[in-house]
Structure 1
């Protein structure tokens, strides 16, 4: 079947539906990030323990990715994505009613499991349905939903928590997810180029092994690990940093700091289109370099300069993720669902591991320790981007269509 072209009504429906579904998933995934100090106070736990409310969801999401991609190769894209968005909202409402940290973590673990139904499946859906010349732009718009979801979730969470506590914040995001799920189910066009494949354990193992044979794909998986790990590490602990003296920001003001996610919304679409024009390898290296520069600026003392550094950091991260994720979808010749699942497995493992390990640097060295840890991750990612450029030499084509 013909692929969907940019400018058509189908293209608009696809990009808007996936944009809204990504918004609801990522609002739910990071709903606790700006209110970690409130969780510490309410449950009597240290920052590294409170960060588990983020890491538990991301690690279960990472594990679930390993199964969801191949399952979607068998059962179809849209049904898996619809169930994922709907269940995320329902479990979020349950999480808001828990009275102890252990049960709360369990609901977060369950949320991560069902959330995984969207990201790997959405990437495979786009790779199958969108014309390759416009895939970077479409993927960029989808990633924009990620950034706006993170932005909206954090702003709503911080603002609602100021009046109704963290429980009210989690419940509010659950309601938003349910509304987005209903619209998504109605609006997303069914797959036209999907071909169901039998779901067999042997095939599952074969698909996953096939997705790691390519050294370029392996490099991109590790880029996702480093970039996402650095991103979650910064945003997990910036709330502790800015809610303490000398800044002493409130939970509501801390939520609005995440307005910086708008930089990511802009960069994911922009860098996706630039990668279509100038090549993925140079744009990936540029994005990671911007992210590293932003982390360095965030060490500054003045609040406005620090916020500017976080904005630059956010711009770089979403550009890098948009490019790397679309590159995985384009590079994988077969079993695109498995390849996307492996990318997102390493991506969310980075969030889970680095997001918690950074807490040890926070307790030992404070904010400079967190930034130093992030710098090490990003320096490694830049090296991997250089390797990816070498491995892709002579295989990339760029679009001349604006």
Structure 2
């Protein structure tokens, strides 16, 4: 039996459904990010405390990915992803009716945990089921779904909250996510090249030790944590910055700041094309270095300079993330789901820790020091790229 190849119906179904899964996951995962000012106002809480609504989901993702790094191969790929998408949609719907911040945070952890089932196996499924000739395109489709889901969720949440209130915004996105989960359930193909198998705990521990003892894996995992933490921090708190002097922008303009995610799609796609001409290491290094330039632009008090810097930062973040995740999947000859789960574990751990920690840091310092902290994180990531080796894709 051949893997799904170019111009086949099976490949089309895989690409469309894997795109929709990314759309659903990321529209829910960062749903509350643009709503933080609304939530902070309603619950009369601080910037850092309100950001727990974002970090709770990413903490849940990190816990779930740790769990699935041991258990993912014991489940059907499709059944696990369907369960994750349906259960997360129901939790998002429930969240629109909750009146206590603590319960919302708990539901965020739970939602992150169940939704991690998609991220834990999606990259492994693609590499198992798709022909190498279209592997890069299919991976880009999945990551583009992540990007567009994150962008559309933030934009729609901001606009809907401005007109209908944040609770109705959450409710509508929950309904949309439920619809996407049902479409995925109906059309996503079952695995042809993977069968669920009981995993021995000791074997998994040995595999994970091998990943953590490998300098390339460890560098790529730390890069994922630092870059994602910096990226989430910028999008968590930039809306607070833009609402205040010297910008004093209204919520409609701030909502369209999240259109910058569209340049992330180009970053994902172009990094795949560039990998045909340049080494993965070169692309990763160049992307991370350009991120530093993008962060520096956020020091400015000129709104257009900030927008330009945000665009560069977003484009190069997704280019770097795409290349780093591909390098992990390619390097892991065995136990791909475990290797990629650990990558996502670090990715979301960075999002949780740096994403919320930088908010408290901003609260006690200023925007200048906040941007300085993120610049340091990205600079460390660039140093780590110098330690990685080119991996044959």
TM-score, normalised with respect to structure 2: 0.96
**What's the secondary structure of 1:174's corresponding residue?**
helix
Residue 115 of structure 1: CA displacement?
1.1
Which residue is equivalent to 2:148?
148
1:330-378 per-position Cα deviation (integer Å, ceiling 9, x unaligned): 1101111110110000000000011111113312332222211111111
CA displacement, residues 155-193 of structure 1 (integer Å, 9 cap, x when unaligned): 110001012221111111111111110111122111111
Partner of 1:400: none
Alignment of 1:109-258 (within 5 A): 109-258=109-258
Instruction: Tell me if structure 2 keeps the 8 A contact 1:260–1:311.
Output: yes
1:21–1:85 Cα contact (<8 Å) kept = yes
Are the aligned partners of 1:69 and 1:121 in contact in 2 as well (CA < 8 Å)? no
Deviates more, 1:11-20 or 1:273-282: 273-282
Question: Offset at 1:277?
Answer: 3.7
Secondary structure in structure 2 of the residue aligned to 1:116: helix
What is the aligned partner in structure 1 of residue 281 from structure 2?
281
Compute the displacement of 1:133 (Å). 4.2
Which residue is 2:21 aligned to? Answer: 21
CA contact (8 A) 2:246 2:301 kept: no
Task: Give distance in 2, aligned partners of 1:25 and 1:49.
Answer: 23
Structure 1 residues 335 and 291: alpha-carbon distance in aligned structure 2, compared to 1, 3 A threshold = same
Contact 2:47 2:360 in 1 (8 A): no
Task: Tell me the C-alpha RMSD between the 2 structures.
Answer: 1.5
> Where does residue 396 of structure 1 map in the other structure?
392
Structure 1 counterpart of 2:9: 9
Specify whether residues 336 and 78 from structure 1 end up closer, same or farther in structure 2 by C-alpha distance, changes over 3 A only: same
Give 1:338-349 correspondences, 5 Å limit: 338-349=338-349
Distance 2:12 2:210 in 1: 33
Q: What is the TM-score of this pair, normalised by structure 1? A: 0.94
Q: Is the 8 A contact 1:227 1:378 kept in 2?
A: yes
Taking the aligned partners of 1:232 and 1:361, their CA distance within structure 2 comes to 14
Unaligned runs of 5+ in 1: 398-402
Query: C-alpha displacement at 1:39, in angstroms?
Result: 0.9
Corresponding residue number in structure 2 for 1:298 = 298
The 3-state SS of whatever aligns with 2:197 is: coil
**Aligned match of 1:102:** 102
In terms of mean alpha carbon deviation, does 297-306 or 200-209 score higher? Answer: 200-209
1:110 Cα deviation after fit: 0.8
Paired residues of 1:147 and 1:262 also in contact (CA < 8 A): yes
SS in 1 for 2:330: helix
When the two structures are aligned, how many residues end up with a matched partner?
A: 393
Distance 2:185 2:385 in 1: 37
- More deviation in 334-343 or 277-286? 277-286
2:38 aligned residue: 38
Q: Is the 8 A contact 2:6 2:133 kept in 1?
A: no
Report if aligned partners of 1:85, 1:118 keep a CA contact under 8 Å in 2: yes
